[in-house]
Structure 1
């Protein structure tokens, strides 16, 4: 273990996280893999976060604070001052399991072509006295992740490990207000275009779901940014094909939840464009990838649901469409 050149730099951004920060820090310090530095990045907190962070005397911790500048800029600052080969993420209210770092480093060492590696996560709701768990079990293979990441994020941000060289080469997180939040989805979108990515099929982090998350507080603005990034992704993957002209329409059908009026010509467009996307991403080299097939079915299901909702103006017809597609989703998983 080297304090000056650790293998891992853990980026832990903090903004008014006093309630959960100690547990989060301790989950990092309890890792079985010890060759890391922990960068605690206080983004202008006004609570007791600073005092809590300063109580730890572990030589692997480096503490920084600055006026509030947002998550993307804070993470970019952390990456700039990081010393490690790998950048690991953790949020102030999440908990890493003790073997997380060891398993991710082992995978990255074995797969030098993989630039981004996430894990599965257990989700619990903050403040729920009767805790019931849900899980993020995202696809694990590059083809399935890259395909899904055209439309939505396929990583638990707090679980991700990245090669610092790839992060720097791609320019880090975008601080463009039209693209963040969701700064993570925007970054994964660019990563998938240039590098191979993966998820470990193990639950290695507890993810706290809070009602004050940005995706809930700024739901309309968040949705518009997701739409914008999806359009950019489609234009990239369809570049040079006759289906590129459908990028905005396909993304809008997917993201606008049936509010976009559709027409009969949209139905064949959906299937033909999805087929082209699969070929571009490389499904032909991985034809037995069941994860890709599952993601394709899931995305097509949502597109066709929204297509039929867009064709229906009467309330009772729209209700019937929602019921039918809910049943179909239950049948196919």
Structure 2
């Protein structure tokens, strides 16, 4: 990249499309993170609802104005038409200035200490390029009941082995990675053959990072909450039958 990354800054990248029902809850959730040094990047992927109006409303809060707007730590970029999940993600990644980049889907939630714990992990594991977390799924109409899938893996070799055989071992939405990972690997691939697109642009991004030599691990705590609802992007299906139920 042509610019020098801002040390200590975490760029939280949020692609969104017709997310008006959830975007305010997600933004408030990110603002409540205990890690203080954040920037928020939203790529509005041609939404046809009032997502953008909801975001502008959120920005009117004096606290948000002081913390994100006046410090130029908030970016909202609206695309003229829908380019798709992979394209919106990659645009957001190009705009990130932080030493670290955190992925966050526009309808999901994170534990308040998620980013702090991931940054602490990276500080004490300098060989790791990407770190995810365990996660739980919840239906939007029943948020207190959550299901923890069992396919998340731990340790670089174990995770790498899963991607080597075409499976998965990390939740893309829970990832935090060093900016250099994107600088050297690039973003999500848009024009995939049909069969590879079914596998998932996000899974192939992780696989490519690992193949290029970046080490990955997961924090075993449930720090990311994956919302299930009827209008979510195709492919974001439930895996709750493979998981265990937890309350809270």
TM-score (norm 2): 0.80
Match of 1:99?
113
SS in structure 2 of the partner of residue 140 of structure 1: coil
- The structure with higher relative contact order (CA 8 Å, sep 6+) is 2
Cα deviation, 1:282-305, whole Å, max 9, x if unaligned, reads xxxxxxxxxxxxxxxxxxxxxxxx
Q: Which of the numbers 191, 202, 224 marks the counterpart of 1:184?
A: 202
1:144-183 equivalent positions in 2, closer than 5 A: 144-150=158-164, 151-178=166-193, 179-180=196-197, 182-183=200-201
CA distance in 2, matches of 1:186, 1:200: 21
Q: Secondary structure at the match of 1:10?
A: strand
Report the Cα distance in structure 2 between the residues aligned to 1:141 and 1:94, rounded to whole angstroms.
25
Residues 72 and 180, structure 1, Cα contact 8 Å, conserved in 2: no
Q: SS at 1:55's partner residue?
A: helix
Shift of 1:61: 2.2
Question: How far apart are the structure 1 equivalents of 2:103 and 2:87?
Answer: 14
Aligned to 1:141: 155
Q: Which residue of 1 aligns with 2:235?
A: 215
**Counterpart check, 1:69 vs 2:83:** yes
Select 1:85's aligned residue among 76, 99, 108.
99
Alignment length, in residue pairs?
A: 214
List gaps (5 residues or longer) in structure 2.
Answer: 243-248
CA–CA distance in structure 1, aligned partners of residues 236 and 225 of structure 2: 20
Shift of 1:113: 1.5
Alignment partner of 2:16 out of 4, 14, 19: 14
Partner of 1:202: 221
Question: By how many angstroms is 1:82 displaced?
Answer: 1.1
Q: Which of the two has greater strand per residue? A: 2
The two structures, once aligned, show a CA RMSD in angstroms of 2.1
Shift of 1:155: 1.5
Deviations 1:216-261 (A, max 9, x none): 79xxxxxxxxxxxxxxxxxxxxxxxxxxxxxxxxxxxxxxxxxxxx
- 3-state SS of the aligned residue for 1:152? coil
Distance 2:93 2:221 in 1: 26
User: d(CA) in 2 for partners of 1:97 and 1:36?
Assistant: 15
CA apart distance, 1:190: 1.1
Equivalent position of 1:303 in the other structure: none
| Higher fraction of helix | 1
- What do residues 155-205 of structure 1 show as CA deviations (whole Å, max 9, x unaligned)? 122111111111221122111232435111101111222211000011111
Deviation at 1:18, TM superposition (A): 0.6
2:245 maps to none
Provide the C-alpha distance between the structure 2 equivalents of 1:213 and 1:65, rounded to a whole number of angstroms: 18
Q: Which runs of 5+ in 1 are unaligned?
A: 218-328
Q: TM-score with structure 1 length normalisation? A: 0.60
TM superposition shift of 1:39: 0.4
